[in-house]
Chains A and B, each alone.
Chain A
């Protein structure tokens, strides 16, 4: 693999050098967005949390994001009276060697003044990032790769998802770290999944995470099953689950993490995304990008996104590689798709060849090549209220 990464002061390596502008309450969203729009720079990304009330999960997520290896600098935009721990997040970024500036709208004199200060801050932080930049060789074993699926249909579980499974097997064998998730979309797969666990404690954590997901979704009244899934030929949650599960490949599952917990050794992990305790804040993840943000917070450098119906999203902070399993979607939305796993249907590709194509594209994207969604300017980001208990030591590889 011939790619150069960005070495961070904590020793982690990034594949992008992003300046994030983070609003810390919805009231600061417009101001932060104007700062990003006026910068007009693909390196400057907007992220944020809309809530005014404190949430430990959101605080820990934001801390993880400001210290993410793809992030080189940070600007926080606060209204002033919200509860978000802006000093704590700024201190965390600084402690990880990231240049950071905080703009408080109520202190600087309102929207116009905050935008002006923000524009100046972008220039200063970018200059500091350029001065601090250290490029180092990257190998697959440096990478953390996540996978999610969205807009699944009857093709996803036959082509795109098992092809990602083949890619995951190759990545794990090369010493990379891989994370799959969507416990709410693996209801019915807990038995076979537990058999792949690296330890009895991990097996117990897998079964418990799925049981929690089923309880949670039952309370909400819906499974993780959207109308487009049915239109694309999927008929039940467990049918969607079986198709989603094959993204994980065949290697042992060595740990179960919750966002934004980090992996502790290379290998394959399940991410348990369903909140702990009584359902409080609504659906576990209200849309695909919330899942992608959690992958990123747990350290993913990039995300493999499989789709049947044809999602077009990307993400702030980390590239998204979109793989469609549906040849009709490839025809219709080809501009938005990176890889056509639907070619498996007509025999012009195989699961192994698409898996190899995915790994080759990961290497290229890690080296700086733009994904389709990056080229289109997709920088989606969503972070909402959730609650998690810390994972026990048994959930991690020994």
Chain B
């Protein structure tokens, strides 16, 4: 059975789902239980601890951007609540000149 998530670096405040994680699932990360707030797909990230607006999101032991909203441990961390500190991303509905 595949583990639910992987912690890539000890300093990380997010973990990566190794499979689809179900809402309400209890997941043990380094001896601490987090509860998935919603269904989250393979490859996506869950907060390992409570995060606040402006906090750096740490993955691979390095910052991958900043939080734009507050979130509880077990919450889904993605573009609705974090952003790049370098350069904007574009989505399928992007319209350009």
Contact = CB atoms under 8 A, between A and B. Distances in A.
Interface string A205-234: 000000000100110011101110110111
Contact of A235 (B19, B62, B65, B87): B65
A233 B21 CA distance: 13
A242 B62 contact: yes
Given A233-B43, A236-B64, A237-B87, A158 B82 contact: no
A310 interface: no
A230 B91 contact: yes
Majority SS of interface residues in chain A?
loop
B20 to A, nearest CB: 9
A238 B41 contact: no
B26 interface: no
Interface string B1-30: 110001010000000111100000000000
A24 interface: no
Contacts of B38: none
Interface string B51-65: 000000101101111
A345 B86 contact: no
A238 B42 contact: no
Majority SS of interface residues in chain B?
loop
Contacts of A222: 87-90, 94, 96
B45 interface: yes
A230 B42 contact: no
Contacts of B90: 222-223, 225-227
B45 A233 contact: yes
A155 B43 CA distance: 5
A259 interface: no
Interface in B38-97: 41-45, 57, 59-60, 62-65, 77-79, 82-92, 94, 96
B16 A326 contact: no
A82 interface: no
B43 A242 contact: no
A198 interface: no
Contacts of B19: 345
B64 A232 contact: no
Interface of B: 1-2, 6, 8, 16-19, 41-45, 57, 59-60, 62-65, 77-79, 82-92, 94, 96
25 contacts: A154-B42, A157-B60, A187-B86, A221-B96, A222-B88, A222-B89, A222-B90, A230-B89, A233-B45, A234-B43, A235-B65, A235-B82, A235-B84, A235-B89, A236-B64, A236-B65, A236-B79, A236-B82, A236-B84, A236-B85, A238-B85, A239-B57, A242-B60, A327-B42, A345-B19
